[in-house]
Amino acid sequence: MADARKKAVKDQGASGTLTGMLSTVRRKRIIDWIEEEGSARVRDLAAAFEVTEATIRQDLERLEKAGQVTREHGGAFLNSVPSQVASHALHHRIEMDRKQKIGALAASLVADNETIILDAGTTTTEVATRLTVRKNLTVITNALNIAMVLGSVPGFSVHMPGGEFKPPTLSLTGDKSVDYFRDILAGKLFLATAGVDVELGLTYPSFADLQLKQAMIRAAQHVYLVADASKINKPSFTRLGDLDLVQTFITDDGISDKDAKSIEARGIELLIAR
């Protein structure tokens, strides 16, 4: 956790430290974390945000009063998790029209007989639903919902790692997942992200999946980042690395000309779904 904290993306409007982060900003980051993980422990949040456990308990109390979480001994969990998992639904279902266009464009880049990796997420799920017309794909994914979509397609070979279940993303994570991808070689990876920034790179709401995403990137010959334009210039809490980790960025026509030029200036291929 200590090493990962060094990668935390600090709020631009605060004092320059996580300790000085405004309480409203911190609570927003906390709910982003819990929406990603399904739950969080007080001690982990206190260490990550560099505040006291008492401060985190106050934050969780406010979030509980707002109806977003339920507190339990030592932490809190997301209220929507039980119904969401029972219905096999993902939590972040916003900008779906844009994500569907991105999914269609990304899927068009996959040919029959390929071996690909699909990260967990709503946009990568849109990629998956459009791959059912392909033939003889080998798909490696940490997402249970994607495995269910593609696992029943005749001729497809779908593989999953072991690991710990993350309810909001219906995915597997942890050391076992990371170890699994160390022995994988795939042609293409379709990678999800919470935030995209030319300077800060790829950012995520929590630390849990950083090592897993790094392992996926190492396992692929070509990395496609799939993210709608609403995620551009909106950094999340933890940093995976520079944009140079990916070769191609697939987004929608909401991207500004300035951002498009900045991304292409980094040598990254930009594909816009319309």
Average pLDDT of span 105-130 = 97
Higher pLDDT, 102 or 8: 102
pLDDT higher than threshold 90 for residue 79 = no
pLDDT at 11: 39
pLDDT at 40: 86
Find tokens 């967990």 and name the residue: 120
Q: Phi and psi dihedrals of 271, rounded to 5? A: -115, 130
pLDDT at 207: 85
pLDDT higher than threshold 50 for residue 191 = yes
Q: pLDDT tens, 210-221?
A: 999 999 999 999
Q: List, in order of start, the domains of the chain with CATH numbers.
A: 2-79 (1.10.10.10), 96-273 (3.40.50.1360)
Average pLDDT of span 183-200 = 95
Could you give the strand order of the β-sheet that contains 75-78, starting from the edge strand earlier in sequence? 39-41, 75-78, 69-72
What is the CB-side half-sphere exposure of residue 31 using CA atoms within 13 A?
A: 20
pLDDT higher than threshold 80 for residue 257 = yes
The closest alpha carbon to 223, from 196, 250, 263, belongs to 250
Residue 20 banded pLDDT, cuts 50, 70, 90 = low
Residue 3 banded pLDDT, cuts 50, 70, 90 = very low
DSSP SS3 for 26: helix
Q: pLDDT tens, 129-186?
A: 999 999 999 999 999 999 999 999 999 999 999 999 988 788 999 999 999 998 899 9
Mean pLDDT of the chain: 88
pLDDT at 223: 98
Higher pLDDT, 45 or 9: 45
Q: Give yes or no for a contact between 143 and 122, defined as CB atoms under 8 angstroms apart.
A: no
Torsion of CA 13, 17, 22, 26, to 10 degrees: 110
pLDDT at 28: 86
3-state helix, strand, coil in the chain (%, to 5): 40, 25, 35
Q: Give yes or no for a contact between 75 and 39, defined as CB atoms under 8 angstroms apart.
A: yes
Of 37-41, 133-137, 148-152, 268-272, the range with the lowest mean pLDDT is 37-41
pLDDT at 167: 83
- The DSSP-derived string for 145-180 is HHHHHHHTSTT-EEE----EEEGGGTEEESHHHHHH
Share of the chain above pLDDT 90, in %: 66
Average pLDDT of span 237-244 = 93
pLDDT at 5: 37
pLDDT higher than threshold 80 for residue 16 = no
**Residue 2: Cβ-neighbour burial (10 angstroms; 0-12, 13-18, 19+):** exposed
pLDDT at 93: 62
pLDDT at 90: 64
